[in-house]
Structure 1
Amino acid sequence: MFFVLSKTLGVALLPINFIVELGILSLILLSTRYAALGRKLAATALVLLALAAFSPLGNLLLYPLESRFPPWDPSRGAPDGIIILGGSVDPDLSATHGTPIVRHAADRILAPAELARRYPNARIVFTGGNSDLISGDAKEADWSGIALENIGIPKERLILERNSRNTYENALLTKQLVAPKPGERWLLVTSAFHMPRSVGLFRKVGFDVEAYPVDWRMGGREDLFSFSNSGRDGLSRTDVAMREWIGLVAYRLMGRTADLLPGPTRD
């Protein structure tokens, strides 16, 4: 049920979708006796669109997420394993064209290649199936495995988890697959904005991981109040951030994380 709601209600609440829905509703009302309300909703939709596209709103929402975990400190020594979260390769497009197609967050694929070279004894796990509400047989892990091989990671080092549909299932199924032993150190590679939710979910299933954030969408604190020159970029940052905050709230309410905004140590 949660998966279905996340792909329906959760998607409907994303800023750009919500603004479009509000605009459509205003147009419908304009042709009825509620035209005055329709005009107010249309004006509201325009204001929200301007805020989401050009104001610092996206940066203000992203910064607490991206700054929550610092870059990984290699001074503690080599990790026992590296977990790569899906979300980069489009499985359906890849299946259609017969080659891995990276649509988002390419750093999630590129960073593990350097980690694999630096730590030749670390186990490498990719976790990700197909996150579409109505999905076909294509699995992201299959195509991401090919992409990882193409950039230098030997096939025999890869462990592929191909059945998870969301981050909670990433955590649960990966733990079942690798059965981490006490004292082992595992890195978790995912986008910086996605790291708080991911770490919180892994902790909750009893799999302690060390954050290896990649794929930052903004700079530092100096970017907090900068305005976007591109409406598309501003909308993208606002959508990405709101998706994470909605996910954090939903998982906390369900008891799947111990904190609203998990950090390097439990608050």
Structure 2
Amino acid sequence: MFFIFSKTISTLLMPIFWLLTILIFALWTKNENKRKKAIKIFLLLLIILTNPFIINSLLLMWEIPPTPLKDVKKHDIGIVLTGITRFKTPNDRTYFDTGADRIYHALVLYQQKKISKILITGGNIDIFGEIKKSEAERLKDFLTDAGVPKNDIILEINARNTKENAKNTKEIIEKNYPKSTSILITSAFHLRRAKGCFQKAGVSVTPFSAGFYTQDLSEMGTGSLIPSEKSLYLWYVLTHEILGYFVYWGIGYL
């Protein structure tokens, strides 16, 4: 039920949904004053929500900054959260989506001997409950293709959300690697909530940010003032994650 509820809320958090709702109201209402106000609100929101500089600045305040690789201490396990692949045929490779930096950085840390094993946590169950090949299994395929031995890859294929990632990972570590140290690798915008879930579950982790949506302000040129449809998506990412954080906090997951 929580899974279905979260997906429904996700739809309501889409900026395009907000804009369409206001626009439909402006076209529907017979009150001229309300119509004019709705159109003004629509145009103002459109300007704000499509401005790359505004959303980049807000995301910079939310994302956890990157850790210099030279400062990363050796850990036994690198924990990678899924949500970074897509289903596509032919099934002879791993198809990546946004956030693939997670597994890339896990591979880099492994190759630099900063971690000894990679634990991938996350399954695939859609809103109708259809079970497909888990993301963890697809990411394992990628790592083995990249030369990582199978016995250095640990899979957790049942988790559907961050809370379950933490709970299921704890069970694996307590059973098989009770004295190990772990580094948590996930997208910078999601790391705050992920770290909280793992700490709540009793898993001590060192956070490591990957998969950044932002640019440094010093690198943003005049193009950041030009409206962009990508900004609408980034607003969704930010509002979804902030709401998710406080929902998790409210129900005791953090």
> TM-score, normalized by length of structure 2?
0.85
RMSD: 2.6
Report how far residue 230 of structure 1 moved.
5.1
1:1-267 superposed matches below 5 A: 1-27=1-27, 29-30=28-29, 33-34=30-31, 36-54=33-51, 56-66=53-63, 68-71=64-67, 74-75=70-71, 77-90=73-86, 93-94=87-88, 96-98=89-91, 99-119=93-113, 122-130=116-124, 132-138=126-132, 139-179=134-174, 181-182=178-179, 184-222=180-218, 227-229=224-226, 231-257=228-254
User: In the TM superposition, what whole-angstrom CA distance separates every residue of 1:151-203 from its partner, at most 9, and x where no partner exists?
Assistant: 22222221111111111111111111222535x32011111111111111111
Query: Is 2:79–2:119's contact at 8 Å kept on the other side of the alignment?
Result: yes
Query: Is 2:66–2:210's contact at 8 Å kept on the other side of the alignment?
Result: no
- Residues 70 and 156 of structure 1: CA distance in aligned 2, closer, same or farther (over 3 Å): same
Secondary structure in structure 1 of the residue aligned to 2:160: coil
- Residues 113 and 55 of structure 1: CA distance in aligned 2, closer, same or farther (over 3 Å): closer
- Structure 1, 71-80 or 123-132: larger mean CA deviation: 71-80
Alpha-carbon distance between aligned partners in 1 of 2:142 and 2:17, rounded to the nearest angstrom? 32
Report how far residue 24 of structure 1 moved.
3.4
Alpha-carbon distance between aligned partners in 2 of 1:212 and 1:76, rounded to the nearest angstrom? 9
Report how far residue 239 of structure 1 moved.
1.9
Query: Is 2:119–2:153's contact at 8 Å kept on the other side of the alignment?
Result: yes
- Residues 216 and 16 of structure 1: CA distance in aligned 2, closer, same or farther (over 3 Å): same
Aligned positions, number: 249
Report how far residue 72 of structure 1 moved.
5.5
User: In the TM superposition, what whole-angstrom CA distance separates every residue of 1:58-94 from its partner, at most 9, and x where no partner exists?
Assistant: 123211222x35515655742010001111112xx24
Query: Is 2:120–2:154's contact at 8 Å kept on the other side of the alignment?
Result: yes
Report how far residue 54 of structure 1 moved.
1.4
Alpha-carbon distance between aligned partners in 2 of 1:76 and 1:112, rounded to the nearest angstrom? 12
Alpha-carbon distance between aligned partners in 2 of 1:125 and 1:220, rounded to the nearest angstrom? 30
Query: Is 1:82–1:188's contact at 8 Å kept on the other side of the alignment?
Result: yes
